[in-house]
Structure 1
Amino acid sequence: MTALLLIPLLVPFAVPAAARRCLDRLAPAAALWALTLTVLVLAASAVAALGALVLTGLLKLPFLAGLGEFVRPLRTPSDLVVLPLAAAATGLLTLGAATLVRSALRQLRAFRAARTEADCRPVAGDLCVIESPRPDAYALPGRPHRIVVTTGMLRSLGADEREVLFAHERAHNAAGHHRFLVVAEFAAHCHPGLRPVRADIALAAERAADEAAAAVVGDRRLTARAIARAALAASSARSGRPDFAPAATTGPVPQRVAALLAAPRRRRRAAPWIALLLAACASVSAGTAATGVLAFHHEVEVAQGEEPR
């Protein structure tokens, strides 16, 4: 049981290397879905495994075993193994929960401030222009979706480049990319091995919006130039947007520009194998976590005298 619960805690450390290859070999939208679903399964499996380890340690204590109406001791490996693992799992869960709550509160405050500012401004369709010399633009989720852009950003771009920027942000809103970024943030707080994948998911979202904008305007070179100029303009000022509000100016812009200027790639033979590798990681993690939790539940029932050994 204990060994099974350790596997979901080790698998996430193998994912960052596969995530980088996924971005190179899959289409941006496909990579975004593959990475997000993978980290969601891995994060949930890790939390389930940590929770089972914590409960295993707690039920080794006589007081809690009495509350559980145990008629025989809970069968586990040596206490020298179980109790340190339970203590470590408790610390990891507590730290992860604390950082997740702190991050969620900070992002919620930023979202409310951005939403309040956008709702107080006149809009033209989904476009909200804020009078500010600070160059900034981002896709603001909510009902209704908004494209928030400052006058400083509008002055930094030509008319055709503005259309690229608007198409990029509309692509974010249309595809609901903020949901992917929220999942990536959640997973990063659930397991330290998933933190590097957060940047990969953000890059995949930006690349997907880049490709969508290029398809709308029909000019990849113009799209690359607009993104580069917008990012250069925004680099001199800090944005007040929440982290889950995607923006054309974020991420490794030179890498995104190079991808737009390069000829569209043909499908590589390795692409299905990368997707299968991610699926295998998710399956192994979920399967071992579920099996370990069920084994723990069975041992509890045995200790309570409800099931035979």
Structure 2
Amino acid sequence: MRIAVYLPLLLPLLAPLGARTLSERCEPRLATWLLTASALVLATASTISLGLLAITGLIRVPVLAGLGHWSLHTAQHDDPTELSVALVAGLLLGGAALTAARMLWRRARSLATAALQAACMPAPDDGLVVVEDETPEAYALPGLPGRVVVSTGMLHTLNTSERGILLAHERAHLAAHHYLFVALAQLGAAANPLLRPLATAVTYTIERWADEHAGTVTGDRVRVARTVGKAALAAHDTVARAPGAALGILGRRGPLAGAGPVPRRVAALLAPPLGRHPWLAAATVAILAAATLSTAEAAHDLNALLEAVGAS
């Protein structure tokens, strides 16, 4: 546990670079998968590493050492981890577990609320629900089945072709279960705050994924770009009220989104489509493999340590 246990704690420092590179250079669907997997794997690896470090401190507690029949002298001699490091790791582990549990509970409640609201809505064949509201807004509401909710204000803002683009975009969110990608990435970020850039990037790449789907359906990425900009301007002053916004299912766009992600999405649609860039995928997989192998090696080292102190 001299080096391997610390590597999963250092790799999340690469999250800002990875989030920016994948979201801006990689095809949105692949980027979403890689970003979400990175958040989950790195969060899991770093949490396990904290747990392993915390255990090295527990075996030095005289009461626990007596219960486990461990040799304190051997533990202090064979384990290079400082007791202060183990104590800090234990505190960080407790905080990570509490934060992740709270986020998971809140996310589960939000999904249940969204599903209940969707079940109470009319069930047309196309899944579209139109609400009488002059405020321009549109969002995807997950459920069994999900619904695409559009206000009359948004319908009046867009022409016929633009409405088709908007519906294709929102239906892509439901068909690809984008709310799950957002929830899983945010769970990883809750366990390890260093991974927040990855979770933020996922909320952007699912929008890009839905934009590209709309471009494929309509065959006109330039018109999709214009529709994205037009809908964002119309909804610029809208205050999010629906469960879909709380779930991170964008489609309803607030002022903060209009200040950054929307112009980037429009620019991406006006540029040539992004490729898959296998080297980016390979680099990401290599980093995740390094985190996984390092965690496994650290666990093996701890097991050897426990056998050594138990045999003394």
What amino acid sits opposite 2:308 in the alignment? V
List, as ranges, runs of 4+ consecutive aligned residues in structure 1 with deviation greater than 6 Å: 77-80
Pick the aligned partner of 1:283 from 275, 279, 289.
289
State the alpha-carbon separation in 2 of the partners of residues 94 and 134 from structure 1.
44
2:34–2:281 CA contact under 8 A, matched in 1: yes
Q: Does the CA-based 8 Å contact 1:2-1:77 persist in structure 2?
A: no
Name the SS of the counterpart of 1:149 in structure 2. strand
Matches within 5 A, 1:173-212: 173-212=174-213
Alignment of structure 1 residues 202-281 onto 2, 5 Å: 202-239=203-240, 240-242=242-244, 243-250=246-253, 251=257, 252-265=261-274, 267=275, 271-281=277-287
Superposed CA RMSD? 2.4
Which residue does 1:132 correspond to in 2?
Answer: 133
Compute the TM-score of the two structures, normalised by the length of structure 1: 0.88
Residues 151-183 of structure 1, C-alpha deviation per residue, up to 9 Å, x if partnerless?
333333222212111111111121222221111
Question: Structure 2: how far apart are the matches of 1:237 and 1:124?
Answer: 26
Q: 1:130 to 1:76 in 2, by over 3 A?
A: farther
Q: Give how far 1:72 is off.
A: 5.6
Unaligned 5+ segments in structure 2 are none
Q: CA deviation at 1:300?
A: 0.9
Q: Is the 8 A contact 1:115 1:140 kept in 2?
A: yes
CA contact (8 A) 2:47 2:96 kept: no
Please state how far the C-alpha of 1:185 moved relative to its aligned partner: 0.2
Moved more, 232-241 or 185-194: 232-241
Q: SS at 2:21's partner residue?
A: helix
Report the residue type matching 1:241 in the other structure.
P
Higher mean C-alpha displacement, 44-53 vs 101-110? 101-110
**How many Å separate the matches in 1 of 2:74 and 2:179?**
44
Matches within 5 A, 1:98-109: 98-109=98-109
Bigger shift: residues 255-264 or 117-126: 117-126
Partner of 1:8: 8
Looking at structure 2, the residues matched to 289 and 65 of structure 1 have their Cα atoms a distance apart, in angstroms, of 24
Equivalent residue, structure 2, for 1:60: 60
Offset at residue 79 of structure 1 (A): 8.6
Cα deviation for residue 3 of structure 1 reads 2.6
Structure 2 partner of 1:154: 155
Using the alignment, how far apart are the partners of 2:89 and 2:81 within structure 1?
12
Give TM-score, length-normalised by structure 2: 0.88
Classify 1:72/1:207 alpha carbon distance in 2 versus 1 (closer, same or farther; 3 Å): same
Q: 1:141 to 1:2 in 2, by over 3 A?
A: farther
What amino acid is aligned across from residue 70 of structure 1 in structure 2? W
For the residue of structure 2 that corresponds to 1:160, the secondary structure is helix
Contact kept? 1:59, 1:74, Cα under 8 Å:
no
CA shift at 1:227, angstroms? 1.5
Q: Which amino acid aligns with 1:282?
A: L
Q: Distance in 2 between matches of 1:80 and 1:237?
A: 56
Residue pair 1:165, 1:226 contacting (<8 A) in 2 also: yes
Letter in 1 for 2:266: V
Q: For structure 1, list consecutive stretches of 5 or more residues without a partner in the other structure.
A: none
* Sequence identity percentage: 39
